[in-house]
Amino acid sequence: MAKKNLEKIYEILSEEYKVFAETDNEWDNNGLNSTDFKSLVSVMLSAMTHTKRVVRACNALYKKATTPEEIIALKDDELTEMIRPVAHYNRKTKHLKELCRQIIEEFDGEVPNTKQELMSLKGVGRKSADILMNFNFGGETIAVDTHVHRLLNRLGIVETKNSKETADIINDITPKKYKKHAHEWLIQHGGNICKARKPKCQECVVYEFCDYNEKTI
Ligand code: SF4
């Protein structure tokens, strides 16, 4: 049922949720995306990490270094200490140094602006590349994280095993006019209402279109 009502679902969610640029959000307030390079690093560091911890790590890092050259100049243990609030900080220290080296050596110091090139950077996967394409490079791509993946499967819009499959399908079937902001509506609904453990079905504005067997009212 949800699949054929996809446009209605987008219309309802677009009424329900503001887009990020209209909200008082911590990323903008802390300048985490004030340059393409900072956006890239912030998104890369945000994997598996709550926003508050990403903000703490990024604030510490950007006080000292805001360019690939400045990050490479940091000692590894100094960088690790700055980004310690984020998950997998040891691995991300290595990835971040390598990513900076790639940007300098392979992209003349500029953040690349195609999905393929972004995904060639160390530590940058499909979701991060889609976020960068959508928010920084004018692309209209729906990034799929665990919230979006869960929501779309519960609704019955996709039947997939992983976020990558979900991203392929939802980007295929979403009409162009919804693509720019679909990620923002879906991630807010998935994170706030269609929660992993206890979805708040009684508050769900798209309840009538949901195919989830265990939905509650
Ligand atoms: S009805 Fe429940 S399970 Fe379905 S989308 Fe809404 S919150 Fe999620």
Closest by CA to 189, choosing from 179, 175, 203, 176, is 203
Alpha-carbon distances of 198 from 20, 53, 202, rounded to whole Å:
25, 24, 11
ipTM for the whole complex:
0.99
Over residues 115-122, mean pLDDT: 97
CA of 145 to the centre of ligand 1 (A): 17
Whose CA is closest to atom 3 on ligand 1?
215
CA-to-CA distance for 216 and 211, rounded, in angstroms? 11
DSSP letters, 84-141, are: TTSTTHHHHHHHHHHHHHHHHHHSTTS---SHHHHHTSTT--HHHHHHHHHHHS----
Contact 117/108 with Cβ under 8 angstroms?
no
* Assigned CATH class of 31-136: mainly alpha
- Token look-up 């394409």 returns 133
Q: Separation of 173 CA from ligand 1 center, angstroms?
A: 20
pLDDT above 80 (res 217): no
8 A C-beta contact, residue 201 and residue 207: yes
Q: What is the pLDDT of residues 163-176, one digit of tens each?
A: 999 999 999 999 99
Report whether residue 194 contacts ligand 1, using a CB cutoff of 6 Å.
yes
Catalytic: which of 127, 198, 211, 215?
Answer: 127
pLDDT at 165: 97
What's the mean pLDDT when you consider all of the chain?
95
For this structure, is 176 an active site residue?
no
Ligand 1 pocket, residue 60 CB under 6 Å: no
Of these residues, 92, 97, 130, 145, which one is catalytic? 145
Ligand 1 mutation pick, 186, 212, 214, 216, max ligand atoms within 8 A of CB: 212
Q: What would the pLDDT profile of 48-106 be if each residue is shown by its tens digit? A: 999 999 999 999 999 999 999 999 999 999 999 999 999 999 999 999 999 999 999 99
**Tokens 């393929």 belong to residue:** 116
Q: Which of 194, 208, 214, 217 to mutate to test the pocket of ligand 1 (most atoms within 8 A of CB)?
A: 194
CATH architecture for the domain at 3-23+141-209 = Orthogonal Bundle (1.10)
Has residue 196 got a pLDDT over 90? yes
Residue 52 bears catalytic tag:
no
> Domain coordinates of the chain in residue numbers?
3-23+141-209, 31-136
> Is 30:181 a contact under the CB 8 Å cutoff?
no
